[in-house]
Amino acid sequence: MKSRHAVSRRRFLGTSLAVAGFPTIIPGSALGLNGAVAPSERVVLGSIGVGDRGRAILEGALQCKEAQVVGVCDVKANCREAATALINDFYGNQDCFAVKDHAELLAKPDIDGVIVASCDHWHVLHALAATRLGKGVYVEKPMGCTVAEDQALRAAVQKHGTVFQFGTQQRSDGKFHDACSLVRMGAIGELHTIYVWAPPSVAGAPAQEAPVPETLDYERWLGPAPFKPYTLERDSNKWWWHISDYALGFIAGWGIHPADIAYWGAGDAVRTPFTIEGVGRYPVGEVCDTATDWKATCTYDSGLVIEFRATPAPRDWVDRFQARPDHGTAFVGSEGWIQVNRSGMTCFPESVAKKDIKDSPLFKSRHHMRDYVQAIRDKRQTVAPIDEAVQSDLFCQVADIALRVGKPLRWDPAAERFENSDEANARLSRPMRAPWSLEG
């Protein structure tokens, strides 16, 4: 991928110095020698949302020699300043620009792709705006706050041929790839059950109104969300992740990680209609109102069963799979099991781990951000493409809706609707505050 200003830079290096009478002695790094990537050949990136999580992802982008980060956008002045300093310090210059309006960043014609790590209720709107302008998009998880948002982004990505990477970074971790490959290749026999567990949301955010911090553009931070008076630390990661106006809570915000691995490993077994039932605990009358506990059972027409729970995981799960109590995915088949989490992989029998997976049907990425950058450069699909991202994201959304409705539901993945509940289908979308909309 060559940015539009790459040609002028290359011509400058090749002709301007010679015309001026200087010898064209160019540093090897500028030409891409000695393993370096010439600046004119780098994928140019901007980043929307550079708070704590956004800066962590940004650091991954800075480590990609194939990329050049040139600009940041955030509604918080202190976050813009911190990210700008990080980028300028890394490159040893003062070239990074910072804005609070994402449209201003996206208007830069030389930007090839963006990193979207804003608040969850902004993810899809930011990604849609980038997609419609021909930029690649890396979208931090979860994708959207409604099924309609996910559908709108998928349609736009498909229409514009956008390079898309979902922020399910576990797909670029070798142990998760290996676990899912073993399951897909029949190493544990016929898959019949998957156990999925993740941290719950929290309650207890301060309810007292407070002055809006001088560093925050609160109106733009709210964006499509309904207006609510600012309450103390409302915009803090400690709280907004667990407020339904801005997120689905950790049933999606954390749950997407082990759920995505379940779907990656299960393959076609999760592409059939399923029944979901269970119970969830939701705070009432508090600022935080997302699930602080849940137990859901999904029974697929394929015969597969997925048990999805908030942590801590049941003691028998932890003991059986030698697993962590705070998160994980365990696949159980007719001839054994495999469990994987961020600490490692366990299996029974132990010989399962030694099976050959060189012919795995799954793409192997070794670095999530580098995979995104290289996909933009090579115009190819990423390890976490839009169709698979929507599929696993909708699993979390369907679980949340089913638990809120409080009765067994049937989900049709082809129609992406519930078969037996108008009440549940009414939750597939929600209004956005003007002037924001999915139509652009």
Name the domain boundary from 119, 149, 170: 170
Cβ contact 102:48 at 8 Å: yes
The 8 Å CB, 24+ separation contacts for 345-354 are: 345/175, 345/178, 345/179, 346/321, 346/322, 347/182, 347/188, 352/182, 352/187, 352/188, 353/178, 353/182
CATH number at 47 reads 3.40.50.720
Say if residue 230 is in the same domain as residue 320.
yes
Residues 334-353: pLDDT tens digits?
Answer: 999 999 999 999 999 999 99
**C-alpha to C-alpha distance for 320 and 366, rounded to whole angstroms:** 30
Say if residue 68 is in the same domain as residue 90.
yes
Banded pLDDT at 6 (limits 50, 70, 90): very low
Say if residue 272 is in the same domain as residue 189.
yes
Query: Is position 185 within any domain?
Result: yes
Position 36 scores a pLDDT of: 61
- Pull the structure tokens for residue 197: 């567990």
Query: Is position 378 within any domain?
Result: no
Given a cut of 70, whether residue 307 has pLDDT beyond it is yes
**C-alpha to C-alpha distance for 374 and 410, rounded to whole angstroms:** 40
Name the domain boundary from 152, 170, 188: 170
Say if residue 224 is in the same domain as residue 286.
yes
Residues of the chain with pLDDT > 90, as a percent, come to 90
Say if residue 239 is in the same domain as residue 257.
yes
Residues 369-380 have a mean pLDDT of 97
Say if residue 58 is in the same domain as residue 79.
yes
Residues 93-141: pLDDT tens digits?
Answer: 999 999 999 999 999 999 999 999 999 999 999 999 999 999 999 999 9
Say if residue 125 is in the same domain as residue 266.
no
Name the domain boundary from 170, 203, 236: 170
CATH number at 313 reads 3.30.360.10
Banded pLDDT at 35 (limits 50, 70, 90): low
Cβ contact 200:289 at 8 Å: no
Position 66 scores a pLDDT of: 96
Say if residue 126 is in the same domain as residue 185.
no
Residue 77, domain extent: 6-10+42-170
